[in-house]
């Protein structure tokens, strides 16, 4: 029984580690995509500001 419990706990802990690792990687990729979108928005805003200043 003890050996079975140890093996079960090891497998569950490994699953938890893999699950957490997967979630972290998903969060990191999501953050990178958000930062890229923010950079594009900032660049477009800078272009609009420059064009407005050029007009005036």
Residue 51 lies in a domain: yes
pLDDT in tens, 9-55: 667 888 888 899 999 999 999 888 888 778 777 777 777 665 555 65
Residue 3 lies in a domain: no
pLDDT at 34: 83
Distance from the Cα of residue 21 to its chain's centroid: 12
CA distances from 10 to 4, 46, 48 (A): 10, 53, 57
Residue 30 lies in a domain: yes
pLDDT at 7: 58
How far is 2 from 44, CA to CA, in rounded Å? 63
31: containing domain: 20-56
Domain count for the chain, please give it.
Answer: 1
């Amino acid at each position: 029984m003890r050996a079975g419990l140890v093996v079960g706990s090891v497998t569950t802990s490994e699953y938890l580690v893999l699950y957490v690792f997967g979630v972290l990687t998903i969060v990191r990729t999501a953050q990178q995509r958000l930062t890229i979108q923010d950079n594009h928005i900032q660049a477009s805003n800078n272009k609009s500001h420059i064009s407005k200043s050029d007009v005036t």
